[in-house]
Amino acid sequence: MLKEINEPHRTLCGERIPFENIHAVSVSLPQLSDVIGYEEKRTETLSRLKSGYPRFVAHSYIARILDYNRDTKKINTPQFIISSKKAANWIVQKFSIQNFEIIEDEGITTLVIPDLKDLEKEILSFIQHTGCLASSRMAEDFLLKKESYKKFLGRKLKKKIRSIKFFLLYLLSMEI
């Protein structure tokens, strides 16, 4: 006989499974309406996802590196955080990209391309299907090495505190 484990945070749509693992790729979709919303790509469902399989959901650490690059390296054209320089060169060759830049910094490879929307979509699709996106652990290592991590850590801590407060409020509202 299976024993049911009481984990209230799993009843919240979009929470990571396991809840406390920032690198988790599984996500809670507790209601049938949540599953349907996910499959139909409804904004109200997708906007609540805190994680997901890396080929389909960009990790918040990757997004933070993109912001970091915009702020510190003044990148204002499409950029992709790639797993290696070899993968970046592979993309450049496959799509015959001109006027590109490959930046290697603290173990993170960024491919910067001209602002061509169709090309950007094709590259994103290619990255999705080949899996050559940098991992969340690579991204975390990069952020730990940068001075700006203090700001990042502060935001992360504030989010964690908000999440804990929300969880406690949820527990208090339950009929026990």
Least trusted range by pLDDT, from 3-17, 19-33, 57-71, 124-138: 3-17
Distances, alpha carbon 130 to alpha carbons 25, 110, 144, in Å: 17, 16, 27
Q: How high is the pLDDT of residue 34?
A: 93
Among residues 100, 48, 97, 104, which one has the least CA distance to residue 77?
100
Whether 175 maps to a domain, the answer reads no
Same domain, 19 and 71: no
Same domain, 82 and 143: yes
Same domain, 127 and 43: no
The stretches of 1-148 forming alpha helices (DSSP H) are 32-39, 43-46, 60-72, 85-94, 117-130, 136-145
Whether 36 maps to a domain, the answer reads yes
Please enumerate in sequence order all residues whose Cβ is within 8 A of that of 129, keeping only pairs 6 or more positions apart, or say none: 55
Q: Which of residues 18 and 155 earns the better pLDDT score?
A: 18
- Kindly state the average pLDDT of the residues 125-140: 92
Same domain, 24 and 94: no
Provide the CATH number for the domain around residue 65: 3.30.70
Same domain, 79 and 145: yes
Whether 174 maps to a domain, the answer reads no
Q: How high is the pLDDT of residue 16?
A: 86
pLDDT at 70 over 60: yes
State the total domains in the chain: 2
Whether 79 maps to a domain, the answer reads yes
Same domain, 68 and 142: yes
> What's the burial of 122, exposed, middle or buried (CB within 10 Å: 0-12/13-18/19+)?
middle
Same domain, 23 and 101: no
**Percent share of the chain, pLDDT over 90:** 51
Domain carrying residue 72: 60-152
Whether 157 maps to a domain, the answer reads no
Same domain, 108 and 31: no
> Hunting for tokens 């950029």 — which residue is that?
79
Among residues 126, 148, 135, which one has the least CA distance to residue 58?
135
pTM, full prediction = 0.72
Coil, helix or strand for 31? coil
Among residues 81, 85, 34, 28, which one has the least CA distance to residue 59?
81
Q: What is the pLDDT of residues 149-163, one digit of tens each?
A: 566 666 666 676 666
Same domain, 66 and 46: no
